[in-house]
Structure 1
Amino acid sequence: MISPLFVGHGSPLMAIQDSPCTEFLAAYGKKSKPKAIVVFTAHWESELLTISSVEGTYDTIYDFGGFPPEMYAIKYPAPGDPELAKRIGDRLEKLGIAHRFDTKRGLDHGSWVPLRRMYPEADIPVVQVSVHPFLPPGEQFRIGTALRGLDQEDILVLGSGATVHNFRAMNFNAKGPDAWAVAFDDWLVDRIQSKRLDELFRYEELAPNAKAAVPRPEHFVPLYLAFGSADPASSATEAHRSYEMGSLSYLSIEF
């Protein structure tokens, strides 16, 4: 069994720069090797939930600008898995969740950056799934429930985003984490571990510093999607936490 996981993927530079988070991802990859990976990525937005059904290997998308040339030379040619994509579609259909398939899109950096650190050989089949940032948190969680039981098949459901992701609040001279960002993450972890779903779904009004932490929800919703896919009887653990530039959170939670 491989439990669902949410990871903070932070800056694309983590593809080439070592950090406490990249050490965590590498260690995770050494202890757990899934048969396949389903990744909800913050960098693929669509109003209609879209599932990658790629034959062969993925292209690598460089959906960022102004980074060192070596970033644009990286390839992560993971194989697709159309059969698993269809199974996911069937599960969504049973819950009445509209969706479509995409046979061409490559892996964006929300997927390949953390995956390259976890599984550098790029030999595990991947199904990438889009996010609709503006659906209510409860609906995000419900979408995730369509994937329940995949953990029993050693299929990793991965949410890739960030809990605190506010470019305007970043402090490049910070010597440590900002207290307000830590307080937001503390609140999240407490509600997740105690399964206070109603409060989690109302984070915008209840969580401290929510507007500063989540100015736009595309990086935040993969947390709900991964959490929803977990066995309701499982216990969540804080797998890793670190910060860059004061408030950019690399909180990772295993469900």
Structure 2
Amino acid sequence: MIPSIFICHGGPNLVFEKNDYTKFLKELGRRYTPKGIVIFTAHWESDTLAISFRDDTYEMIYDFGGFQKELYSFKYPAKGSIEIASSLQTKLESHGITTKKDESRGLDHGAWVVLHLMYPEANIPVVQVSVNLKLSIEEQYKIGQSIQELGKEDILVIGSGATVHNLATIDWEANDTKAWAMEFDSWLIDKVEKKDLDSLMAFENLAPYAKLAIPRNEHLVPLFINMGSGQNKVSPKLLHRSYDYGTLSYICLEF
């Protein structure tokens, strides 16, 4: 059985970097050999949960600006899987979760950064899924619960987002991590490890520096989906924690 994993995807330039986090992600990919990957990405928002339905090779989406030119020609030639997408849709809709098919969207960097570092050969079929910010945190958690069986089917569920994600606070020259960013993450990790769902559901009011850490929830939504999709009998584990540029979090949690 394969666990569910939340991964902070960082910036697109991470695919070219060599640091403790990229080393960790490469090792993480060698830990699991799934027959398919379902990835919820913070960089795809829709009012109805959208699922990529395609068997061909994804086009690349370069949803960023100001980075080195090499990134705009970077390729990750992953293919989709209509079979896995159909199974995912059936599970979601059987639990009353409305979905829609998307037959044309490419892979955004929330997906291809993580996937390239974990599975550089791009030989595992990928189904990309959007996030719906109009849903409550409780509803996000229920989305995850509805697909718990995927782990038993050797499908790796990845939530690609971030814990601290405030681009206005990034300092490209910073050598130290801001205390408030670490305090927010410490609170979040503690509640996740304790399975304190009540506190997590109210994180915006309870967590220190919540509004500063997460001005919008799109990068944190995948975490709540992962929490739901993990096996209830297994305790969540913090697999990695580091930072870059003063506030950008590199955190990975296993469920």
Deviations 1:195-230 (A, max 9, x none): 110110100001111011110111110101111101
Q: Deviations along 1:109-145, whole A, 9 cap, x unmatched?
A: 0000110000000000000000012321111111111
Once the 2 structures are TM-superposed, how far is the Cα of residue 245 of structure 1 from its aligned partner? 1.3
Please state how far the C-alpha of 1:21 moved relative to its aligned partner: 1.4
- 1:66 Cα deviation from its structure 2 partner: 2.1
Question: In structure 2, how many angstroms separate the alpha carbons of the residues matched to 1:61 and 1:21?
Answer: 23
> Counterparts of 1:20 and 1:230 in 2: how far apart (Å)?
26
**Partner Cα distance (2:176, 2:143) in 1:** 36
Query: What is aligned with 1:161?
Result: 161
Unaligned runs of 5+ in 2: none
Alignment of 1:34-49 (within 5 A): 34-49=34-49
SS at match of 1:250: strand
Which position in structure 2 is the counterpart of 1:9?
9
What SS does the corresponding residue of 1:128 show, helix, strand or coil? strand
1:10-37 alpha-carbon deviations (Å, 9 max, x no partner) = 1111011122211110011122121100
Q: Who is 1:188 aligned against?
A: 188
Q: Could you tell me which amino acid in structure 2 is paired with residue 10 of structure 1?
A: G
Matched letter for residue 101 of structure 1: K
Q: Distance in 1 between matches of 2:170 and 2:72?
A: 25
Counting matched residue pairs gives 255
1:88–1:146 CA contact under 8 A, matched in 2:
no
- SS of the equivalent of 1:72 reads helix
Residue 103 (structure 2) aligns with = 103
State the identity %: 50
1:24 corresponds to which residue?
24
Partner of residue 118, structure 2: 118
RMSD: 1.0
Whole-Å Cα distance in 2 between the matches of residues 109 and 17 of structure 1? 15
| 1:171 corresponds to 2:179 | no
Q: Take 2:53 and 2:97, find their aligned partners in 1: how far apart are those partners?
A: 17
Aligned-pair CA distance for 1:38: 0.3
2:135 aligns with 135
Q: Provide the rounded CA distance (Å) in 2 between the counterparts of 1:175 and 1:79.
A: 39
Q: What stretches of structure 1 move > 2 A for 4+ residues in a row?
A: 171-174
Distance (whole Å) between structure 2 residues aligned to residue 178 and residue 20 of structure 1: 19
1:60 paired with 2:76, answer: no
Q: CA deviation at 1:5?
A: 0.3
* Equivalent-residue separation in structure 1 for 2:20 and 2:210 (angstroms): 25
Q: Which deviates further from its counterpart, 173-182 or 78-87? A: 173-182
Residues 71-103 of structure 1, C-alpha deviation per residue, up to 9 Å, x if partnerless?
112111111110111111111111111110111
Corresponding residue for residue 229 of structure 1: 229
Question: Which amino acid is 1:253 matched to?
Answer: L
Q: Does the CA-based 8 Å contact 1:26-1:117 persist in structure 2?
A: yes
Once residues 178 and 65 of structure 2 are traced to their aligned partners in structure 1, the CA distance between those partners, rounded to angstroms, is 27
Give the drift of 1:174.
2.2
Partner of 1:62: helix, strand, or coil?
Answer: coil
Query: Helix, strand or coil for the counterpart of 1:190?
Result: helix
Aligned AA (1:98): T
Separation of aligned partners in 2, 1:170 and 1:22: 19
TM-score scaled by length of structure 2? 0.97
TM-score by length of 1: 0.97
What does residue 200 of structure 1 align with?
200
Q: Which amino acid aligns with 2:126?
A: V
